[in-house]
Structure 1
Amino acid sequence: MANSKPALGQSGKLKPAEDQLTARMKGAQALLAAVAAKTHGQAARSAFKAAPASKAERKATKKAVELTTEATKALHERRYKTAETLFDQAIALFPSPPHRLLINRLTAASKAANHAYVAEHYPQIRALATTDEEKATVDHIWIDCLVAAGYPDQALELIAAWRNSDVKIWASIQTVAGIIEEDRGNFNKAMAIQEAILARDPNCDVARWHLSLHQMAAGKLPDAFDNYDVRWKISDFPSERRLFDIPRWQGEALEGKKILVWREQGVGDEIRFAGLLTDLVEIGADVTFECTAKLVPLFLPSFPDITVRPVVPAANRTSALYAEFDFETPLGSLPRFLRPSVEALKTKAKPFLKRSPEVENNVREAMNARPDQPVIGLCWRSSLRNLHRDKNYLRAEHIAALKLLGKSGFICLQYDQCADEVALMQELGLPVTQFTSIDQMNDLAGAALLAGACDLVISAGTATAELSAGLGVPTLLFGPEHSRTRLGTDGMPWHPATRYMPTNPDEPIELMKAILFNWEPIATWAEEKSISGRKIDWSQSYPRA
């Protein structure tokens, strides 16, 4: 195939646009699928084919193989920063490191979200690649790097160069084009890209996985849920693969049957999907839910008809522990059988987390809020930061614009270290209260009490938004225009009291303007959707108040 790659300067260094790219890449989330051999040892030895000529070289090679074996193992275990360190130690053993070792190091950097390293080293490592397979691997890393940094057109050019190739990872490269089109809102085009890959290779799991995500973004249910099951075959899917001696539930009748539902994905996903557990009870199932340990205090009072317990550590699991169950299912598979359409999700959506009005009122008293004063909860970003995510988050100076909302009170629902950001908001005139005695990252029951004390929550797409929505607190959820959780609608079918507001990554302050300029109808909507029973005088929050 033609040797095609993004434009580089005569020296092989990045041109000015890519120099800016280098600066922007720190903290980016790597999208690259794992490039790994069948065993760690094979992967290590493959980098050192040439026999060393001297005793010193043989010693260095032996040590490098040990380090590379450990680095490859770390990659499989998603300890990416550790893998980077080990590869660097192996590289340092050679005056001229084997090019395959350098390619492995570039892979580790991509998966560790160290795109600054990728941008700096891509040109020279690409020049060292000798086979099409190696060139494709390095180009795939660069493609993901370009996408993460906001250079989709350059990524598409390089993707097109590999379209007719027969390299092993051709499909993985082509799927990125679908990701780009979905991000642009071109859902049909994105789906067509994955379908074309599947027409050539019906067993391509990565294409089917991305097809399911595109279908989800477009609201193509139940097809999206059907294809979503392939997630367990994707190497980078972050959840544990669990094996049981009991059958996986495939929609069979559950009257009088015992079913184990087990957690997967992040805490926010876990809270959202947990809203479907009561559907199982309604159809007669005896349900046990193994969830993240810190969610047990939140879920126990919320699901009195369900056995809620923390996920059992892998070392303590025995066949006898699960012998009583008739079926098992991962939590994210419930929509496929219980609410397989957008309409079903909308119809059945309801608050499902238990509230404590007395404690909520105590929280309001602690922040000196009057009984009728509007209280607004704020969460402006996730704790997981990268270029892709940060585009749709807000900074403290943006949030501070909400000081114009009359006599409203504000509660910080940001769950990680944010004292400096809160201090800046306060300095800029936003009267936000931070309850530092509650660890909102780990005490989810406590975080729920804070969210429940709010009359409205404004949140990025984080666990906080899922928490407030599950409580039935009117929630303004902001995020990318084409978020998959919207399922092709203009709202959030998962929750009855959530309103979606797209962000403009180029002008994040536009979101604050949209909220302020439309505040009176937003306040009216919040009053209609509230289930708190509190009598709030929303006119106090009007920007002119």
Structure 2
Amino acid sequence: MSEVQELLNTALTHHHAGQLDQAEAVYQQLLEQDPRHWEPRYYLGTLQLQRGQLDLSIQSFLKVIQLNPELPDAHNNLGVAYHAMGKWQEAGQSFEHALRLNPHYERAYYNLGSLFESRGLLDEAAKCFRKSYENSGSPETYEKLADLLKVARRFAEAEVIYRELLEQTPGDFNRSMKLAYVLVLQRHYPEAVELYEAMLETHPGHYQILVSLSYVLECMGDIPAAIQTAERSIEAASDQPEGYNNLGNALRLAHRFDESCVNFEKALELQPQFPIAEFNLATTRMLTGDLQAGWEGYERRSDIDSSSRTSYPGPAWQGEPLEGKSICLWCEQGFGDTLMFIRFASELKRRGAGRVLVLIQPELAGLLKSIEEIDELLVPGNPVVECDYQCSLLSVPRFLETSLKTIPGEVPLFQPAADRTAHWGDVLSALEGKKVGLNWSGNLQFPRDEFRSIPLEQLSPLLDVAGVQFVSVQQVNGLDQLASFEAAGKLWQPGPEYQAEVGDFTEAAALMQNLDLMITTDTACAHLAGGLGIPVWILVSRLPEWRWLLDRGDSPWYPTARLFRQAELGEWGPVVEDVKAALEQKFSQDAPDFQ
């Protein structure tokens, strides 16, 4: 063995043993003897990369590539250094060069996937992790792929991988928890419960399992089991906040609101920065009618759902006088929230704001351009307009200290286009009887959607009311339930111009304007009808959204609304019977025309 090779072996021995100073000294000695010897320079670059000496590492690898341009490892490691420096383009080019030299280089695929992941390019990252796994067979890489698919909301694909991995490592705790989680995200609740309960047999009293199980039981509406399991999680770890938060949610579902708030407060004592507990406490207070006590905690919504962290440049408005000032209100959350809160844009104008702009979802722009108090509507992608202040639309009532008594309740809040309203008036005039709109399904991804959406089959008794022609106002979701009812002539579905498949609020509003009554579940449709000021009956769950409050048949948000409430969670039959009886009374020949 040559002296050079012996020295290199000595350096590598030091390097592998973590003796980096000694290894570096030998690498430098070799390079002093022969600056063109690429191997010690390559290992020196790797050592520098380990130490975080990124500039030195990049210089070393670039020199190695000059000396030996066909070495895939040098390009790969150069890419790692560039990635750590935040030089995305250079990193990607280095990994791709390594893969051109070695198309089966699994580590380069993995590193390129990590680069894509860090930039939010999840589909591209998934392709790279899959190629890395195909070339390595590494279970860890396969699990990484599943984890990424979960983040990308490709839950079914992640589920398949977690199941395959568990076949190789039955009972693995972390992988079992991950599988259960993606089952929950797909709302496969019974199977998730079965998996958690099986895990409790081998991990009795395990806090994290109990916390997760109590959450799922609450999602299923199994109130006694959710309460009991949350209490068990607190017994297992009384110093952890999640159990108290879950118990608060379960007690709220049972309408035990004071106890619910006590548990949310306990969670916050243990962890003051616990956004979901603060949000839950706030909305529970709002649900019971104390809006002013809830607005501050309601601000934590953006800490729970990062996708709502839209903002607008400029100083944040916090209630300062707006006379002669301009303000841009930006919309977040769902369509229903925007339709409900848009009144506060008009309110600011009425209170003296010089100029009110609203950055709004494109789907609502056509409808809400009718609001006179809004000086300019913007949609994402429009040029930024400089304003004195900016604020989330949903935060305005906080700074106005809005209470139940001071909600701006005048309707209509907006008007559909006159020509489209006239068009649908002509179309509906051809139908006999009173025209009653029907909406039964909301966004299927909405949390607890199973508590608010109602299968059309369960609403079928309404369709037998004499003298009434039901009109489907449904768009996007729930259309697959229409066929049999439409064929029987019991439910009229508008034609293609209504754009039911893709959704169009402008068309929906114009059609609704010609109805005698709108019946809907708690979806954006309820806010659309209420904002138009037409008679609307809203079917709400035993535990409704905070905005519908408790134990009242009206709404301070919408004076034309009438609420029909569940007495038992998940039991829509009695609600439908109440609505049917009210329909028969409303449209009987001698009945007064009331809401």
User: CA offset at residue 247 of structure 1?
Assistant: 2.6
Partners of 1:171 and 1:467 in 2: CA distance: 38
2:571 pairs with 1:487:
no
Q: Work out the CA distance in 1 between the residues paired with 2:446 and 2:193.
A: 16
Give the superposition deviation at 1:341: 0.1
Cα distance between partner residues in 1 of 2:300 and 2:196: 32
* Local SS of the residue matching 1:328: strand
Of 109, 112, 117, the residue aligned with 2:183 is 109
Change (3 A) 1:172 1:77: farther
TM-score by length of 2: 0.69
- Residue in 1 that maps onto 2:328: 260
Which among 309, 317, 327 is matched to residue 378 of structure 2?
309
Structure number with bigger Rg: 2
CA distance in 2, matches of 1:72, 1:419: 33
AA in 1 matched with 2:573: I
Indicate the larger mover: 211-220 or 327-336: 327-336
Structure-2 residue corresponding to 1:153: 224
The amino acid of 2:481's aligned partner reads E
Bigger drift between 404-413 and 273-282 goes to 404-413
CA distance in 1, matches of 2:354, 2:159: 47
Q: CA deviation at 1:383?
A: 4.1
Deviations 1:84-140 (A, max 9, x none): 344345445x3547432222222222233232431332233334559x8xx322222
Structure 1: distance between partners of 2:290 and 2:445: 30
Task: Tell me how far apart the structure 2 counterparts of residues 242 and 397 of structure 1 sit (CA, whole Å).
Answer: 38
Corresponding residue of 1:516: 580
> Corresponding residue for 1:280?
348
1:141 to 197, 202, 212: 212
Give me the whole-angstrom Cα distance separating, in 2, the residues matched to 1:97 and 1:403: 51
The match for 1:174 is 244
Is 1:499 equivalent to 2:558 in the alignment?
no
Change (3 A) 1:335 1:369: farther
Tell me the distance in 2 between the aligned counterparts of 1:458 and 1:401. 13
Instruction: Point out the structure with the larger helix share.
Output: 2
Q: Is the 8 A contact 1:375 1:455 kept in 2?
A: yes
Task: Say yes or no: does 1:121 pair with 2:195.
Answer: yes
Distance in 2, matches of 1:195 and 1:95, equals: 40
Matched, 1:248 2:316: yes
Distance 1:329 1:129, change over 3 A: farther
Partner of 1:341: 403
Question: 1:363-393 deviations in whole A, cap 9, x for unaligned?
Answer: 233244479x531111122241799433444
**1:139–1:129 Cα change, 3 Å:** same
- Identify the residue that residue 219 of structure 1 maps to in structure 2: 289
Deviation string for 1:474-500 (max 9, x for gaps)? 100111134222234612221121111
Cα contact 1:99–1:128 (8 A) shared by 2: no
Distance 1:232 1:62, change over 3 A: farther
Q: 1:199 to 1:121 in 2, by over 3 A?
A: closer
- Residues 79 and 250 from structure 1, CA distance in 2 versus in 1: closer, same or farther, beyond 3 angstroms? farther
Please, which runs of 5 or more residues in structure 2 have no aligned partner? Answer: 1-113, 116-132
Q: Superposed, which structure 2 residues align to 1:8-407 within 5 Å?
A: 63-88=138-163, 90-91=165-166, 94-96=168-170, 98-129=172-203, 135-166=206-237, 170-234=240-304, 237=305, 239-242=307-310, 246-282=314-350, 283-303=352-372, 305-312=374-381, 322=384, 324-338=386-400, 340-345=402-407, 347-356=408-417, 359-369=420-430, 373-384=433-444, 388-407=448-467
After superposition, the C-alpha distances for 1:222-243 in whole angstroms (9 at most, x for unaligned) are: 1111111122222xx2633235
Q: Does 1:416 align with 2:476?
A: yes
- Range 223-232 or range 282-291, more displaced: 282-291
Deviation at 1:457, TM superposition (A): 0.2
Q: Is the 8 A contact 1:393 1:479 kept in 2?
A: no
Structure 1 pair 68–349 and aligned structure 2 pair: CA distance change class (3 A) = farther
Distance (Å, rounded) in 2 between the aligned partners of 1:417 and 1:243: 29
Query: Displacement, 1:322?
Result: 4.4
Q: CA RMSD in A?
A: 3.4
Q: Is the 8 A contact 2:555 2:563 kept in 1?
A: yes
SS at match of 2:370: helix
Please give the secondary structure, in 1, of the residue aligned with 2:357: strand
Residue 510 of structure 1: CA displacement? 1.8
TM-score (norm 1): 0.75
Q: Which amino acid aligns with 1:207?
A: A
Moved more, 489-498 or 396-405: 396-405
* Aligned 8 A contact 2:223 2:254 in 1: no
Amino acid at match of 1:492: S
Deviation per residue, 1:386-444 (Å, 9 max, x gap): 99433444333443323443322221111135555334334666253433431244321
Q: What is the match of residue 9 of structure 2? A: none
Seen in structure 2, the aligned counterparts of structure 1 residues 68 and 327 have a Cα distance that, compared at 3 Å, is farther
Compute the displacement of 1:445 (Å): 0.8
Work out the CA distance in 2 between the residues paired with 1:351 and 1:163.
48
The answer on whether the counterparts of 1:351 and 1:471 sit within 8 Å (CA) in structure 2 is yes
Question: 1:423 and 1:541 mapped to 2: Cα distance?
Answer: 33
Report SS of the residue matched to 2:512: helix
Structure 1 vs Structure 2: percent identity of aligned residues? 20
Give deviations 1:220-277, integer Å, cap 9, x for gaps. 121111111122222xx26332356523221111222222211211111221112221
Rate the CA distance shift 1:480–1:446 in 2: closer, same or farther, 3 A: same
Higher mean displacement: 245-254 or 468-477:
245-254
| Letter aligned with residue 394 of structure 1 | I
* Change in CA separation of 1:420 and 1:327 when aligned onto 2, cut-off 3 Å: closer
Stretches of structure 1 lacking an aligned partner (at least 5 in a row) = 1-39, 42-57, 524-537
Residue 210 of structure 1, CA deviation: 0.8
Whole-Å Cα distance in 1 between the matches of residues 227 and 171 of structure 2? 31
Contact 1:407 1:540 in 2 (8 A): no
The one-letter code matched in structure 1 to 2:215 is D
| 1:74 positional shift | 4.1
